[in-house]
Amino acid sequence: MDGRTLDVGAVAGVSHIRNPILAARKVMENSPHVLFIGAGAEAFAAEQGLERVAADYFSTPERWEQLQRALSSQQMVLDHDGAAQSHSDDPLDPDRKFGTVGAVALDLQGNLAAATSTGGMTNKQVGRVGDSPLVGAGCYANNATVAVSCTGTGEVFIRTLAAYDVSAQMEYGGRSLQQATANVIHDKVQELEGSGGLIAIDSHGNVVLPFNSEGMYRGFAYVGGEVEVAIYRDS
Ligand code: ASP
């Protein structure tokens, strides 16, 4: 999503587009529509010249094992929770993190942008769409306020319109980035028993990365500054 124009593009339910985030950008730039799903999304991406791969391109032994564990416990699991991980002692084994990727950015001209890409929750039902491709739920950017990318229990981020709620609280409620994101993650998402977090940057360049899950792989940097990375709550 481009915060300058509120232009946005998304795809969902795809299994052959090598880089779905590039397809989302093509939707934003080259289509009058906002969201394509399934076969239509695959066809649009192919017309736009994006690389197509066999579905097993995305298959890895780690993901297969993770799915088997989720199937046997009859759970739908998140990468940010220990339940999703291996039998390793580390509940969030960094070698086994392959989940949602989000990015938010502010440029020198004050333009904000956000992007979110995911394989979704492990052991979800076929046809289920999460928050990531839904504008205002898992992703939002508006130059007037903030750029946000979410990760976590998609259904709860959809029900709370989490990403847009951060922007709305700042715009209509005069809340700071810190207050708005803390309310969304630690009050609203938490109250509906959602797990996860978000990354956000406001129009002044303030960055926050709140989460209520066991951990969230995250990092940020300012031009010319140190790169900060962390996984757990206290790191
Ligand atoms: N939010 C994603 C979904 O619900 C999952 C995730 O972020 O790990 O599909």
| Ligand 1 site, residue 121, Cβ cutoff 6 A | yes
CA–centroid distance, residue 211 to ligand 1 (Å) = 13
> Whole-model pTM?
0.91
Atom of ligand 1 nearest to the CA of 155: 4
Confidence of residue 92 (pLDDT cuts 50, 70, 90): low
- The yes-or-no verdict on residue 95 having pLDDT over 50 is no
d(CA 155, CA 138): 10
Segment 144-165, tens digit of pLDDT: 999 999 999 999 999 999 999 9
- The yes-or-no verdict on residue 87 having pLDDT over 80 is no
100's tokens: 């949602």
CA–centroid distance, residue 139 to ligand 1 (Å) = 11
List, by residue number, the catalytic residues. Answer: 100
Amino acid making up residue 123: N
| Residue indicated by tokens 């052991």 | 123
231's tokens: 């996984």
d(CA 211, CA 203): 21
Residues 85-102: what's their mean pLDDT?
58
Amino acid making up residue 23: A
Segment 49-69, tens digit of pLDDT: 999 999 999 888 888 888 888
What's phi and psi for 196, nearest 5 deg? Answer: 145, -155
